[in-house]
Amino acid sequence: MKCDVLIVGAGFAGAVCAERLAAAGKQVLVIDKRNHIGGNAYDCLDKNGVLIHPYGPHIFHTASKRIFEYLSNFTDWRFYEHRVLARVDGEYYPIPINRTTINKLYDLKLDEQGVTEYLESVREPRDRVATSEDVVLSSVGQDLCEKFFRGYTRKQWGLDLSELSAGVAARIPTRSNDDDRYFTDSFQFMPAQGYTAMFEKMLSHPNIEVRLEEDFQAIKSTIERQHTVYTGPIDTYFEYRYGKLPYRSLSFEHEHLGNTEQFQATGTINYPNEQEYTRITEFKHLTGQQHDGTSIVREYPQAEGEPYYPIPRPENEALFKRYNELADATTDVTFVGRLAQYRYYNMDQVVGAALKSVDELIAALKPAEELVS
């Protein structure tokens, strides 16, 4: 086998690099060990005909016009703003915490100013915000922390808030107004025909060949190439030379409910303290699909299994840095994506990282005569 660039992984990182390299005239071979493209953003119809996300709910949102416009080359969009309720002591409250959450929880009738003052009175300011516990306590104080954050975080990560870097809990803002959207980015849309259809279009260039159910470890020496783009776990690439990098996994329990127009009021309901799962998502909210039945997924976090989340904490970052030094010294391989860069990236951030890496790669791969002229 021969190609200019071998791309390991057909998720967002791999597909963006493949599309850009193909457009620049390179022959690209994309492999994935799974039997489908799209990585964790893959979607498909379940056996009842409902469009589901087998690897958990994926909601696209970005503040970047450039990233939105780039992806718009491959899909139409459906406007969708995600909303989440958290079930606490048998009641449902908006999360991120907002005015409604505070008023309902404490039986108050505060206006925005009142909520700001309330939060000011309960928050525990920190001189230095290093951990996720610092983030939560310094914004909402002890009671809201225990009700909404500590249990969820323990379930999701198997760690206490105090053992995780600030960035994890900082994903969830606190609001004094009534905004109950999960995200406030200017672009909040779902790909109208789904993610897989978008990936198919990205990978449809004649310079791109896709081979599924191919593991890089098994075939890496059989493919003649100039360069490799690797989007899998970075520690696996280097055969765990410095030991395993911790990743958090999940098990997904999918269920279809026949003759059920709607199962729950919002796209996702979080269960911070009750249940073994963290959340239930009902896909029809996300996709807008009309169907007599409905399909839901419960997410059960676990230590072993497919690596889904890097675990942001200082000792893991230090181990990643050692692997990253090896990556920097491996000049014929580009490492990009959530697993290869060990970053808690959303989809749009992966697209941004891949566009940056592939631009640099295309410049580096230019034949010498082109650079001169």
Residue numbers of the site for ligand UDP (CB under 6 A)?
86, 95, 148-149, 152-153, 156, 168-169, 171-172, 270, 272
Q: Following DSSP, what letter does each residue of 268-328 receive, concatenated?
A: EEE-SSSSSSSEEEEHHHHH----SSEEEEEEEEESSSS--EE--SHHHHHHHHHHHHHHH
Backbone angles phi, psi at 77, to 5 degrees: -125, 155
Closer to ligand UDP at the Cβ: 131 or 156?
156
Helix (H) or strand (E) holding 53: none
Closer to ligand UDP at the Cβ: 152 or 216?
152
Query: Which residues, numbered 152-171, are part of the site for ligand FAD (CB under 6 A)?
Result: none
Binding residue count for ligand FAD, defined by CB under 6 A: 34
Q: In 3D, which of 164, 159, 121, 127 has the Cα closest to residue 143?
A: 121
**For residue 190, what are its two tokens?**
């779902």
Q: Does residue number 231 form part of the binding site for ligand FAD (CB under 6 A)? A: yes
Q: Does residue number 232 form part of the binding site for ligand FAD (CB under 6 A)? A: yes
CA torsion, ordered 83, 87, 90, 93, to nearest 10 deg:
-50
DSSP 8-state assignment for residue 41: G
In the bound complex, what is the minimum distance in angstroms from residue 122's beta carbon to ligand UDP? 17
Q: How far apart are CA 307 and CA 27, in angstroms?
A: 30
Closer to ligand UDP at the Cβ: 232 or 310?
310
Query: Which residues, numbered 247-306, are part of the site for ligand FAD (CB under 6 A)?
Result: 250
Q: Which does 149 bind (CB under 5 to 8 A by kind): ligand UDP, ligand FAD, none?
A: ligand UDP
In the bound complex, what is the minimum distance in angstroms from residue 232's beta carbon to ligand UDP? 19
Q: How many Cβ atoms are within 10 Å of 75's Cβ, its own excluded?
A: 20
In the bound complex, what is the minimum distance in angstroms from residue 142's beta carbon to ligand FAD? 29
Binding ligand FAD by CB under 6 A: which of 12, 277, 320, 323? 12
Query: Which residues, numbered 343-372, are part of the site for ligand FAD (CB under 6 A)?
Result: 345-348, 350
Query: Which residues, numbered 59-88, are part of the site for ligand FAD (CB under 6 A)?
Result: 59
Crossing angle of helices 112-122 and 132-144, rounded to 10°: 110
Query: What residue is closest to ligand FAD based on CB?
Result: 39
Buried b (16+ CB within 10 A) or exposed e, 260-280: eeebbebbbbbbbbeeebbbb
Q: How far apart are CA 71 and CA 92, in angstroms?
A: 35
Stretch that binds ligand FAD, among 4-12, 151-159, 253-261, 314-322 (CB under 6 A): 4-12
**For residue 273, what are its two tokens?**
């303290």
Q: Which does 96 bind (CB under 5 to 8 A by kind): ligand FAD, ligand UDP, none?
A: none
Please give the residue ranges that form the binding site for ligand FAD (CB under 6 A). Answer: 8-14, 31-34, 39-41, 55-59, 215-217, 231-232, 250, 308, 337-339, 345-348, 350
